[in-house]
Structure 1
């Protein structure tokens, strides 16, 4: 509560009946009345905010209270003229249980003060549902939201963002769109906890701000880190599909080959769809600021890799005969193996790009350049193998279906090798430009 007005309480007793009234806020409509008789407590709660009525019920959910439905009332004396009322009844097991319940109920009322204002402040940065869940967590953990409001609410968050992160999307959008729900929830739990603890200890506000910034630095990332995290996700989808294709081709002429290629084609389709969703996120973020158009172009190019590999999985699933000319199958297996290697090198390039350190600059750049060179070599190799396969198909394959299918599979592998190289060249230019004098 700190120095916030409210919580004026009156209690009267008549025979075995006690009536307790608490004026929670400064408005006449925000009142709780508790009538206690024997082991039964009857609660009447009124509020102008329907969402806060629901919240009030939720913070008492550890007790089995029999609640009525929420009723809508009208009274011209109140500013909004409309308010909500709910009643509840709790029957205690014994006197100790009754006292525990009343003590707990009394301790919850403080978390209703300025609840709606706190929710709106949090909602600037997180979805409405998460804002309510954060306030529930704060109440359950005896933290509350008043300290957060006293310190300035959204202002302390804006200040932390501007000093910790170059990510403008955190200012204009929702944190969970960037950090994900779990990290966002943890970050805001930290803000609420530090705010309360620091004010209770009468720490200077400048120290409180610095502590919040220090804790938030564990969660906030630069814009480039966020984009590269998304690019990394796509790279791992690519590795999954490439590995499945290689494993399928290594099973050529085995009894389960046809079942395996059909199953893997469906999995590849799902992974490609998941990757598309990540690409959409990247494009949406990049379009908010033209400085990050590079990442939109990078996402488009790496998306080509996964598109080609998904198509290769589809064409491979068209086969209905598990018997393949051995000489052709050997080259197809070699081609798929090269694509797996390229996928692994691409992940290494992305991780180095994300984590390049000045103190390890020489080692990082050496690893980075080696991987770039390897992908360039793989692109040349896949082109040669693709031509060998097509030549062999003309010379040795009498089946049109097999000829067409393997020609398409080989070509998709070759095109994915090209796309890998384009992605590598984009990242090469991006990283090396950082060291341009």
Structure 2
């Protein structure tokens, strides 16, 4: 295990150098300082407030927060582990967790005095359990959770004759797309004002797409195709956590993918060439070039903040299984194995996972904190701003959520699935190509 970890870290260092990012200056902390990294700028004020309260309760400890963008975050974090300049604590993602646990760079929280008392029952169902490794140790303290729903432009849906009730009761199937595809087609408008389901529609010159896009979705498709595939009864792996076999070759998955990217061929979904990092689904929606957008609850304030657009949200459509589905992702805070201030780090993580901090985060109305009290505070904060978040909380109450796949070799799975999915989307490659990719992935997992 140790040799494998060192080899993987060496590879990660090479990757970080190729990408042009370095570890930067040391983030090592003195005995009175706890260094903490996170990637979401929208959440920074909430955690600054938590840090202020924490410092009052722990005289002599100072929390130094570093915030950076999503893409830079993971490259610099990996490089920091290689260079020995890692933070004491960082916001961890379930998709990255398996690799970090395998590389042995995380401290087991159940062995630290201040974090060993974390209990599953203190948080929304499933959030705490997801951060237990194959060795039975806990490596993340539940932070927050998110689900996916359909944002829609109320003016456009009214003009199309679609009510909120209809949008919350859509169905879909891979044969004809069901009422979901009919709605998306009718919301699509070409440059001549012809709708997607009307005679004379010009799919090559679309003014407003019925559904926004966010690239091909790689191997998880969180805000793209995951809700459709899962509502067919499909699952990523053979078991919810630490799966040993991926199912990208499943006929249900391939049918869902074929249908989803087929929307682009029909003109209802932007083609791959129109997507870029600066023209994501939120930008498409905010600019009025897309009538709806599947996206996560972390984007609520963004979508409801667009000037001149009245936004609504609806639950994901019911699929062939007779149920709707949405990915539920839970973030956590992890302590690094070689933290320079481990005593301060574990105290900070314990506070981050506490009811006090999670209520503070919830009151900022940016994300749904992991504790039930924190979630309730967030719902109240959104309501105060006139935002109904039922489309995001209902799946949790109804237990129609599913998790990110948690397996070893997550980075390799990404590296294999990304080009395959992009080729299907951009170049009309056959979904049968997924069979070969799935075999390559499962060969890795069998080692």
TM-score under structure 1 length normalisation = 0.23
TM-score, reference length from structure 2: 0.22
Between structure 1 and structure 2, the one with the greater Rg is: 1
